[in-house]
Structure 1
Amino acid sequence: MKTVLVTGSNGLLGQKITEAIIAGKQFNLVATSKGGNRFKSTQGYEYAEMDILDPVSVSNVLKQYKPDAVIHTAALTNVDKCETEKELAYALNVEAVKTLITICEEYNIQLVHLSTDFIFDGANGPYKESDEPNPLSYYGQTKLEAEELIKNSGCKWAILRTIIVYGIISDESRSNIVLWAKGALEKGTPINVVNDQWRMPTLAEDLAAACLAVVEKDAQGVFNVSGKDMMSIAELVSRVADFWQLNKELITEISAGTLNQAAKRPVKTGFILDKTIKELGYAPHSFEQGLALLDQQLKDRTKEN
């Protein structure tokens, strides 16, 4: 049985990968994050504290567990923060990857890296894996630089690019656009939502399944992993409101240009998923199916409490 080490295991994707491995029992799991473990259960896997910014910490943990694969989910994904705190963004999104590459090369470990639609400028979406990147933001630049380092490395690698990941985790410590919109509308809070940017939101469970399929199949190369429904951000929020029967009059549609954000965003991204469906057996939920799964998880949690 292969051993999989996950970085950033306290994050949304990290926790969904942990859930999937515990449920499927197809891999041994080493979950790693900075600080203590925030996953609801401590059974069925090992947890190790690991600071991705400290090469000695990373090296020690990887040498101790000698995983067959590393799924690297840890990153600074706040696009505006990357723009204003470039040193931190570079350390987390590029330097950490350099550290992992060096160790993965040395021990012949498969490196599965998470990347983003923000490596594209949004002028010609949806994109296939081979399309030419042109990032508009520092976040996109750092993620593209990390991709290039991995592609030119000597390790076995796979890069999974994704778009707006949504879902829910046990301690509700991480929000995302779906939970934000649902929470605000339930409280009766008016919200402004951009209507001139288009994306294909991704259910965290689907992304986790794709990560594990890559390890299982020993797949190599770049893979697009997102939801299958293209929508504007305003439509996304409107569909959230419809699903939970919330008041859409609280939603005001605005243009992205009025927001004065630190980082530029691509207008229309989205992915062509044919390669991932064919090679990984990827089968994403529709957006409404994803919301239904989330709704069930929220109901289950209420019962548990």
Structure 2
Amino acid sequence: MRILITGASGQLGIELSEVLKGDLIKVYNTKEVQGGYKLDLTNYSAVEDFIIKKKPDVIINTASLTDVDKCGIERGLAFKVNAEAVKHIVRASRVVEAYLIHISTDYVFDGEKGLYKEDDLPNPINYYGLSKLLGETYALSYDDTLVLRTSGVFRHKGFPIYVYKTLKEGKEVSAFKGYYSPISARKLAEAISELIDYRKTGILNVAGERISRVDLAMKIKEKFNLGGSVKEVDDVKGWVAKRPFDSSLDISKAKKILSVDFYSLDENLRYMVV
């Protein structure tokens, strides 16, 4: 099976490269990947040409501009990467009849209620969430697409890594007052590996268990016996864009489909790269 991974140098892309079996076609843009192909996803004709020539059986689109504040400032770039590029990936997927797995986010929701189901109405409150929602719409215009909504992916970056490193230095962690469903890149990659065999389509939430960032920080402090302290804050210094208060995802549907434990906190924390 030929599997094309966009964003192969990202956290999820790295883990997919480790977990997946078959003929992997790894695509990167900024950070070089050994054996990979450099491709700017905003060069749409090049993207379509590459996919049509490589003829993958499966495409996993992990590439995304995920910096929430940068998306709000550089809206044109966010739209090109998170939305319009997906349209052209879909166009080429149709030609080669590839199965497309497109990675999306909990930030398509406003965070007013939390534990969002797959069929809940999206209502993004920042441009990152809006650009990702537009990308979902393009992806779902193709019948053979699975949109995976996830939350707080971490590996060598992300909130859990910040917490671990800050507490290890004996410093204070600022934890945003709110909830989400963090998942390690490794567990998400394992879930995707299983889902390829099932060829599900539509939307599926694959994320960790709902937890507040304060409770997560305290859990990491206790689990790894770290010093430092944890402080709950309403806003993180330097943030520009508004964040949803509770963007946690209801993962009950995925738990029924998948055999892998992708959700438990202890299992996910095993795969922090610090």
The match for 1:252 is 231
User: How far 1:15 moved relative to its partner?
Assistant: 0.4
The match for 1:202 is 183
The match for 1:172 is none
User: Are 1:181 and 2:158 an aligned pair?
Assistant: no
User: Are 1:16 and 2:5 an aligned pair?
Assistant: no
Match of 1:124 among 109, 113, 132: 113
Q: How far apart are the structure 1 equivalents of 2:226 and 2:76?
A: 41
Q: How far apart are the structure 1 equivalents of 2:239 and 2:117?
A: 28
User: How far 1:248 moved relative to its partner?
Assistant: 3.9
AA matched with 1:18: S
The match for 1:212 is 193
Q: RMSD value over aligned CA atoms?
A: 1.8
The match for 1:65 is 54
Moved more, 233-242 or 117-126: 233-242
Q: Quick check: 2:207–2:263 contact (8 Å CA) kept in 1?
A: no
User: Are 1:50 and 2:39 an aligned pair?
Assistant: yes
Task: Provide, for residues 247-272 of structure 1, a one-character-per-residue CA deviation record: whole Å limited to 9, x for no partner.
Answer: 243x222223x746321111112122
Q: Quick check: 1:116–1:162 contact (8 Å CA) kept in 2?
A: yes
User: How far 1:4 moved relative to its partner?
Assistant: 0.7
Query: TM-score w.r.t. structure 2 length?
Result: 0.93
What SS does the corresponding residue of 1:29 show, helix, strand or coil? strand
Q: How far apart are the structure 1 equivalents of 2:52 and 2:237?
A: 46
The match for 2:221 is 241
Q: How far apart are the structure 1 equivalents of 2:246 and 2:66?
A: 18
The match for 1:232 is 212
Q: Quick check: 1:110–1:155 contact (8 Å CA) kept in 2?
A: no
Structure 2 gaps of 5+ residues are none
Q: Quick check: 1:243–1:291 contact (8 Å CA) kept in 2?
A: no
The match for 1:78 is 67
User: Are 1:263 and 2:241 an aligned pair?
Assistant: yes
The match for 2:25 is 30
Q: Higher helix share goes to which structure?
A: 1
The match for 2:151 is 163
Task: Provide, for residues 84-106 of structure 1, a one-character-per-residue CA deviation record: whole Å limited to 9, x for no partner.
Answer: 11111111101111110111112
AA matched with 1:84: I
AA matched with 1:255: D
Query: TM-score w.r.t. structure 1 length?
Result: 0.84
AA matched with 1:181: V
What SS does the corresponding residue of 2:64 show, helix, strand or coil? coil
User: How far 1:161 moved relative to its partner?
Assistant: 0.2
Aligned residues: 274
Q: How far apart are the structure 1 equivalents of 2:38 and 2:233?
A: 43
Q: Quick check: 1:203–1:285 contact (8 Å CA) kept in 2?
A: no
Say which one has the larger Rg: 1
Q: How far apart are the structure 2 equivalents of 1:207 and 1:289?
A: 12
AA matched with 1:82: C
Tell me: CA distance 1:91–1:5, structure 2 relative to 1, closer, same or farther (3 Å): same
Q: How far apart are the structure 1 equivalents of 2:172 and 2:261?
A: 35
Runs of 4 or more, structure 1, over 3 Å off, are 35-38
AA matched with 2:265: F
AA matched with 1:13: L
User: How far 1:281 moved relative to its partner?
Assistant: 3.4
User: How far 1:35 moved relative to its partner?
Assistant: 4.8
